[in-house]
Amino acid sequence: MMLVRRGLKLTNHASEKLGLPLLSLFYPVNQHYSKQIHGRSDLRKFIDQVGSDPKDMKFWFRVFQHQDVNPSKPFAVVQIENNVFASTKHLHKLVESIDFLQQNGLCTVIVIGSDNNENTSQQLTENTVCMTEMLEQLGAKTRPFLNSAGLVTAKRDSVIGGRCSKIEVDVKPIIWSLSSNCIPIIASYYHDINGNPIYISPIDMVNEISLLLQPLKVMYINTQGGIVDKLENKVVSNVNFPNDLDVIHSFDEESKLKMMKITNLLKKLPYTSSAVITSADTVIRELFTHGGAGTLLKNYESLHSVKSLKDLDVNKLVELLEHSFQKHLKSHYILSLKDKLCKIYVTESYSAAAIITNESLVKDIPYLCKFAVLPENQGLGAGESLWHEIDRDFPALFWRSRNKNRINPWYFARAEGSWRSKKYTTFWYGIDDPKLSYNFIGHTNDIDSSFIEVEKLALS
């Protein structure tokens, strides 16, 4: 959801004038983080990459605060392709980004290598040393693994032609590095008992490590900036599973294989996790802005729609609504839905829901009575996925929101019309008849609140 401090527009000097670190204006960084954002140079680098829009910075740090503070759990597992090291400019930005994350408690695990036959042990070693030296020059602590022996065990009969297709990873050395506030940097090869180099698919290694450590982000850094749609010659911005599985089939074979591997990983990670394919110079922008800068891949939980309260768990629905709105529902609310319920959408885990009703005084135009997403799931795409289904099923809709609701900009972006009264703003789309809009504007002002207490937050 959109969380914006009204009227606040920051420049590079705004936080200095206020005497506060920039991000503390939006959300205090968790006290367990190893380091606070510090120094004017870090602040300016951050603003240079993401811009000065407060909603972008508050948005992501608010999400990070819901993550478990665990020194042995990485924020991200990152694959860096070999060709990234060919651009000094982009490499410097990547190193600064990783250092920035590390300084603020968002630890990363780095895997170096490419999924092609161009890997050599010398190249992988040189790139690992290069990344290690550049990070340590910025003051970061690292733990390079120049030979993955001890970390990786090849599964039986999986080594063909010097390449390993199936692996098992021992993450204890990685956890030890993270617990020591060090960045593990892993070259994707090892030597067998005869001293011959065995090359490992870095995607396989990243995915196996991610499966065991459950990071919030899995990142694949390349020089294209994402997955490129060769027909339209542009980067694909979003791929959402399972709805967009058919999109994968239009990609070239290399991209298709990569996407299928990522898809299989996301199925085994929490819904809060996501994968990103982006370029070396846009990592921070991809992480900290709504627009992003690469290809974001997410696996959304199943969304169900029902037309009767008998077809869902009413207790879980009530719990979701009360937790999302931070208020208690009036005792008669659920009973009041019985005769006017049109449809309820709810995610499989009851983390998000929408309730559509038929109002007797406004014929033929459904009313969005409730739209709720649990706080810990806000900003992770659940609301967007929910809205997509509503918009697809209902060509016309109206709803209301309190004037002080902080997510009203999100509603304005999805509405075709609105009217502000003393207490509420009424929104609608798909309605051209002024008489109809007049009727439901009056109706929304007359509807009693569903909640006992009158507080801030969403639709009521």
* pLDDT value for 61: 54
Helix (H) or strand (E) holding 354: strand 352-357
Residue 3: per-residue pLDDT: 28
Give the domains, in start order, of the chain with CATH numbers: 67-299 (3.40.1160.10), 303-446 (3.40.630.30)
Q: Which residues pair with 223 in a beta bridge?
A: none
Whether the link from the prior residue into 242 is cis, omega within 30° of 0, is yes
**Token pair of 149, please?**
């022996």
Q: Look at residue 194 in the predicted model and tell me its pLDDT.
A: 83
Question: What's the predicted TM-score (pTM) here?
Answer: 0.67
Position 66 scores a pLDDT of 47
Query: What confidence score (pLDDT) does residue 379 get?
Result: 67
What's the angle, vertex CA 407, arms to CA 388 and CA 47, rounded to 5?
A: 100
CB-CB contact of 407 with 2 (8 Å): yes
Phi, psi (deg, nearest 5) at residue 76:
-145, 145
Q: Which residue has tokens 């798909």?
A: 430
The one-digit pLDDT tens for each residue of the chain (460 residues) are: 232 222 222 233 333 322 333 333 232 333 333 334 444 455 555 555 555 555 555 555 554 554 555 767 899 999 999 889 998 888 999 999 999 888 878 899 999 987 766 668 889 999 999 999 999 999 999 999 988 767 887 776 677 777 877 888 999 999 999 999 999 999 998 888 888 888 888 999 999 999 999 998 999 998 888 887 777 778 888 787 776 777 777 777 888 888 889 989 998 998 778 899 998 888 877 776 655 678 888 887 778 899 999 999 999 999 999 999 999 999 899 999 988 999 999 998 899 999 999 987 777 899 999 999 998 777 667 788 889 889 989 999 999 999 998 889 989 989 999 999 999 999 999 998 888 888 888 888 888 899 986 544 445 4
Where does 147-193 show beta strands of DSSP type E? 152-154, 159-160, 163-164, 167-169, 183-187, 189-191
How high is the pLDDT of residue 142?
96
Q: Which tokens hold the place of 145? A: 């693994």
